[in-house]
Amino acid sequence: MTYLSDLNEKQREAAQTTIGPVLILAGAGAGKTKTVTYRILHLIKQGTAPKNILAITFTNKAAKEMRERVMALIAKDKELNLPLSFNERPFVSTFHSLGVHIIKENAQRLGLTRHFTIFDRSDSRRAVKAAVVEMGLDPKQYDPSVILSIISKEKGNCMNVDKFSETVGNEYMREIVWKAWQKYEVALKKEKALDFDDLLLKAKELLEIEEVRIRYTSLWKYVHIDEYQDTNKVQYSIAKLITGESKNICVVGDVDQNIYSWRGADIKNILNFERDFPGAKMVTLEENYRSTQTILEAANHIIKKNKNRFEKNLFTRQGPGEKIKLYQAFDEGDEARFVAATAAELIENGVDPREIAVLYRANFQSRALEEAMIDKGLDYQVLGVKFFERKEVRDVLSFVRAALNRDSITDIERIINVPPRGIGKVSMAKIFSGMIDAMSPAHQEKWRQFNVLLDEIRQKSETERPSEVVKFVVKYSGLEDMLKDGTDEDLERLENIKELASLAMRYDVMPQGEGISKLLEDAALATDQDEMEEEKRATRLMTVHASKGLEFEYVFITGLEQDLFPHRGMESKNGSKRDEEEERRLFYVALTRAKKRLYLSYASIRTIFGSRQMAVPSEFVLDIPDEHLAHEEKVRAGGKVIYFDI
């Protein structure tokens, strides 16, 4: 099997174990994606039809990378000679995209069409706020975001609104959350829409129908699930349901990188895998291909204090590398200047700015860092500014969604006066109440013309390539004329819309009608990491949570002060060890993002909520053996540095 020669011994063992349940414990940078893609190649080489293979991961970025790597391996293998069509390929997707796929194929069972609308978080917040107002309550007192967060968490725990009513105990949950949830579900049903969490919950409910489940377990005979430690209850349920009787499931994960319990990820799913799937084989990947041994030694020392984990020790053959740089700053301004000055020096010495990442525990820390970057004249990019959340981009997509789903009141409200058509709130109320005859003839004509436009967009969506559909919307909606004669900001918005047309070209190769649907789906499911503009040569600024799954040659981990990192907000009232362990796992994730060089920094004084507070070094810094650290003693402009012996 020379095609597996690129794998190390443990990777090869994982790739060749294809029958029954398999747990691949893959340490950071241990080549888990490579192992899974070669495992898929091995299955195909052994006679499995590509269409019988399913692989699920968490982000669009990760799914795209895995899909491309699988297809590259297949194309490279001369013995296979398999020109695969779109429908014959292995099905590689995110959990949410898998949910969309299952729901679309069974839409009638849910009273939906294939063109159902996906509510993003802002759509959901608006609908919940409307529910709160309808209940006669003040949204400022009863925050729709808090209510939506509770609903989201309950759906992630496999709870629907009817079950919730049977289990809810306290008055706030019954009188506020449950009643708002009921009205929210009515709004979703009226618009033939599902929210982000429904994509998983409804897929799980469909798979509980024997006829539906048998269809998919017969199709997907080999199931792979990446980042298994990040699965919540509903994702865990989908994994078990879709695996079928053969139990040919291969999960890949790392207990030490479980950092999402706050959004429902349950570490027990991976810890109990061998109990859930008796006879499971466990393969541990410990050889790291990313970082230096010094970085790995620090990471190993940090994580070994945790109790809820499988024992493993990362190692590399790449040599010790440089010591970890530790900078003790006077305050956050001094820390930020150190980061910016060091980044500037690296760039001057030929380092690609995209290979430099600055990580922080809390979003508020970015302000001082951004100011220092600007002062130094450095290009930077803050991860989390979503392309698909820009108003002008959402407007174009809403035209297409409204054309394909006329029940999507949310989309129609968004675009009915984009550009202004003179249809006011009174007329809109009549439209949505079915009282169009009560409108003036002039307003009836405007509504008719708007519907003609939507009819034309729908026709284009069914017959034209996605990029042409976007261009049609921009031109014939009036958006182009409105923006091109406007301010500089308007011209920038027009550029963003043109960028959407360029992005849509990626979907032009798909079968007729499917491309535009996939574009809308991907836009709705986009994550922060999908917004990283690879072509922009800029230093990345992001939270540690956002850095998961990424890697950079040079990494700064800032704000390493007790109560900031580890974060005080993560401590539970009863002193639960689990929260403390998750913060430690979060620092472990931060350390293992670095390939060549790692910088740690903390401030002696930090301004938080307008108050200057004394700070002490994080326990995490103290846990790293001193032989792995090199103290940065350079004083930066803007204040005297106070040093501590550690």
Which are the catalytic amino acids?
32-33, 226-227, 257, 593
Q: State the Cα–Cα distance between residues 367 and 538, nearest whole angstrom.
A: 17
Residues 168/174, Cβ–Cβ less than 8 Å? yes
DSSP labels, 364-418: GGHHHHHHHHHHHT--EEETT--GGGSHHHHHHHHHHHHHH-TT-HHHHHHHTTS
* Residue for token pair 């159902």: 116
Collect all residues with Cβ–Cβ distance below 8 Å to 526 and sequence separation of at least 6.
Answer: 60, 386, 387, 388
Collect all residues with Cβ–Cβ distance below 8 Å to 546 and sequence separation of at least 6.
Answer: 383, 384, 528, 529
Per the document, the length of the chain is 646
The closest of 538, 537, 532, 541 to 369, measured between CA atoms, is 541
| Two tokens, residue 600 | 């740690």
Q: State the Cα–Cα distance between residues 377 and 629, nearest whole angstrom.
A: 30
Q: State the Cα–Cα distance between residues 251 and 225, nearest whole angstrom.
A: 5
- Phi, psi dihedrals of residue 304, rounded to the nearest 5°: -70, -15
Q: State the Cα–Cα distance between residues 503 and 60, nearest whole angstrom.
A: 15
Q: Is 150 exposed, middle or buried (0-12, 13-18, 19+ CB in 10 A)?
A: middle
Beta-bridge partners for 329: 603
| Two tokens, residue 363 | 């979003």
Q: State the Cα–Cα distance between residues 558 and 359, nearest whole angstrom.
A: 6
* Residue for token pair 């590398």: 321
How many CA atoms lie less than 13 Å away from 567 in the CB half-sphere? 20
Beta-bridge partners for 611: 608
Q: Indicate the DSSP class of residue 642.
A: P
Q: State the Cα–Cα distance between residues 587 and 598, nearest whole angstrom.
A: 13
The closest of 397, 396, 398, 409 to 192, measured between CA atoms, is 409
Q: State the Cα–Cα distance between residues 501 and 473, nearest whole angstrom.
A: 10
Nearest 10 degrees: Cα torsion 591, 531, 122, 203: -80
Residues 355/552, Cβ–Cβ less than 8 Å? yes
The closest of 537, 531, 545, 532 to 363, measured between CA atoms, is 545
Residues 618/566, Cβ–Cβ less than 8 Å? yes
